Amino acid sequence: MNARRALDSLLEASVVGSFTRLGYETRRRLYDWTPLERLRLDGKTAIVTGATSGLGLEAAHMLARQGAQVCIVGRNPDRTQQALETIDGAESELADFSSMAETRAFAERFVDGHERLDVLVLNAGALTHAFTVTDEGNEVTLATHVLGQFLLLELLRPLLEASAPSRVIVTTSGGMYLACLDVDALQPSEATYDGVKAYELAKRAQVSLVEEWTRVLAGTGVTMNAMHPGWADTPGLRTALPGFSRALSPLLRSPEQGADTIAWLASAPEVERTSGEFFLDRRARPTHRGGKTRRLDEAQERTRLWELCVSRTRARSADA
């Protein structure tokens, strides 16, 4: 075991070896992973947001093959319908999670039409190079990756608790290793906006919120963990970072490899009670690499982040 962990640690330190298909294939064999088809979700209900392509679509396929009743959520009607037709027994909904109004409407429809929710995969998001503000006054990266996810979890929380034990999984990114938690920077002006930086900051905020939500959800039977997929060859990556995608093309993971840990976190018995962790390739990983992204006032900044989310979403989390 020590030798395996040492090799895993070497991969982790290398970054390229860890985030590419090399890391996935090595770890899969190193730890003799349980095949997902043996981790059943029969009788369970799952939501996957951002499920029309890439990691979200692959995760939805995986959960359905494991036996779950899957609801896929997308923004584009045509793409959502096309995705739905590829997943046996699934259902679909339309919602743009950069809109708090649409997020609320979707949550209300889902709660009205379902008696349980066992797995919530918060995957919707995109790296956007153009500075855009929603009709509600929120920069779109912040709105989609942080505010919309926060509000959706708040609204679905009673159903998750009623279905406990239940699990929430957040798809984040290794890009968060390049950013510290900075609530002010999460709200850029058009003059200071950098799409890549905004994405990194939002992903860092997601991981911080997972840790905060874990404290709020303690004792409810609802667990929440974050994961990052490594570098996967998805339409989103090819569109957002075409140069990076072309340069790393031979080493990029497939969407299936990138989404594996999502489905594992949704179903593996060994993580049923695990909460507040950050995973890559079925193992919890540190949330910082070195000290550059750590803040001395981390606790205060997390409080500011939570307050921002409550204010911008008008959530009712008085106990949070």
Catalytic residues: 199
**Among candidate residues 120, 124, 157, 121, the one with its CA nearest the CA of residue 143:** 124
Q: Which residues 6+ apart lie within 8 Å of 13 measured at CB?
A: none
Instruction: Map tokens 């996935």 to a residue.
Output: 24
